[in-house]
């Protein structure tokens, strides 16, 4: 016997859905079964809109990360600035900041 994952707490048969579809649109997903297999899910408008917003937020974050592609010249400039900052730092600053960074995972505040 093959089992099917149902990703909802409630389910409804296709024929019951046809008889009165409006009663199944709510704040939680409902699995629609056809021959005891999930054929789809019914979602209320508010839940659907919330899901679309979450998907959009995730895609926007992914797009932002994808846009940060520094050129070779920009990477060289970052390295140059970092090297200069290290050269100009006092040894005590490096030790103190490293200790705080090592214990907290965050840069020391000045």
The CATH number for 28's domain is: 3.40.1620
66 close to 46: Cβ distance less than 8 angstroms: no
Q: Are strands 10-13 and 30-34 parallel, antiparallel or unpaired?
A: parallel
Co-location of 32 and 61 in the same domain = yes
**Which two three-digit tokens encode residue 95?**
């030790």
Let me know if residue 3 belongs to a domain: no
pTM over 0.75: no
Co-location of 61 and 22 in the same domain = yes
**For 74, what's the count of Cα atoms within 13 Å in the CB-facing half-sphere?**
4
Co-location of 42 and 89 in the same domain = no
In the chain (110 residues long), the average pLDDT of successive 10-residue segments reads 86 95 93 94 93 88 73 83 83 64 56
7 close to 29: Cβ distance less than 8 angstroms: yes
What is the extent of the structural domain holding 98?
72-104
Close Cβ partners of 54 (under 8 Å, ≥ 6 residues apart): none
The count of structural domains within the chain is 2
């Amino acid at each position: 016997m093959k089992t099917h994952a149902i990703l909802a707490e409630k389910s409804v048969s296709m024929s019951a859905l046809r008889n009165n579809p409006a009663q199944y649109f709510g704040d939680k997903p409902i699995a629609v079964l056809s021959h005891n297999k999930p054929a789809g899910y019914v979602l209320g408008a508010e839940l659907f809109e919330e899901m679309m917003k979450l998907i959009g937020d995730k895609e926007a974050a992914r797009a932002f990360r994808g846009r940060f592609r520094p050129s070779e010249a920009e990477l060289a400039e970052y390295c140059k600035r970092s090297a200069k900052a290290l050269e100009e730092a006092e040894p005590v600053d490096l030790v103190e900041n490293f200790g705080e960074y090592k214990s907290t995972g965050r840069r020391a505040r000045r």
